[in-house]
Amino acid sequence: MAEPRVGKKAPGFTLTGSDGKKHSLKDYLGKKVVLYFYPKDQTSGCIKEACSFRDNIEAITAKGAAVIGVSPDSVKSHQNFIEKQKLNFLLLSDEDQTVLEPYGIWKEKSMYGRKYMGVERTTVIIDELGYITHIFPKVKIEGHTEEVLNALT
């Protein structure tokens, strides 16, 4: 399957959220979605990114968008992350990479010479009709929320 591209329909999905309920991308038709993929709950970069979205949630929702985080962590891990960081948006659990792979986010990575599969920090903005309007690959956390806000028109 080809990786998603700007102007194309976003791959659909259904995942369990931090609230214990099933959530599908189609549930958000009529609303913009900031779908951000991150490697791991409670790690320094992921805390910084999540808290930046948390602190700017009003500005993002004012532009008609919902923020949804996706990682391979469990629902329980997400619930702890939300509680500890006081996050005000949904996190989805993709333990089997059923969304990470079609979105092209599950990649071979390398640390200290060791290769492994993991999440490449990426944000995808999806419009009200389900089409991708922006893809931010290999996200640099500093200033990223501002980039997202500028992209939401």
Q: What tens digit of pLDDT does each residue of 106-115 get?
A: 999 888 999 9
All structural domains of the chain, each given as residue ranges with its CATH number in brackets, are 14-151 (3.40.30.10)
Provide the whole-model pTM.
Answer: 0.94
Alpha-carbon gap, residue 127 to 149, rounded angstroms: 14
- Under a CB-based contact definition with an 8 Å cutoff, are residues 23 and 122 in contact? no
Q: What positions carry a catalytic annotation?
A: 46
The alpha helices in the chain, defined as continuous H runs, are: 44-55, 57-62, 75-85, 144-151
- Under a CB-based contact definition with an 8 Å cutoff, are residues 14 and 130 in contact? no
- Under a CB-based contact definition with an 8 Å cutoff, are residues 92 and 70 in contact? yes
Q: Strand, helix or coil at 4?
A: coil
pLDDT at 126: 98
How many residues can be counted in the chain?
153
Rg (CA), the chain: 14
Say how many C-beta atoms besides its own lie within 10 A of residue 11's C-beta. Answer: 19
Beta strands 14-17 and 90-93 are antiparallel
Give pLDDT tens digits for 64-118. Answer: 999 999 999 999 999 999 999 999 999 999 999 999 999 999 999 888 999 999 9
The token pair that represents 13 in the structure block: 């999905």
Closest CA to 134 of 144, 143, 142: 144
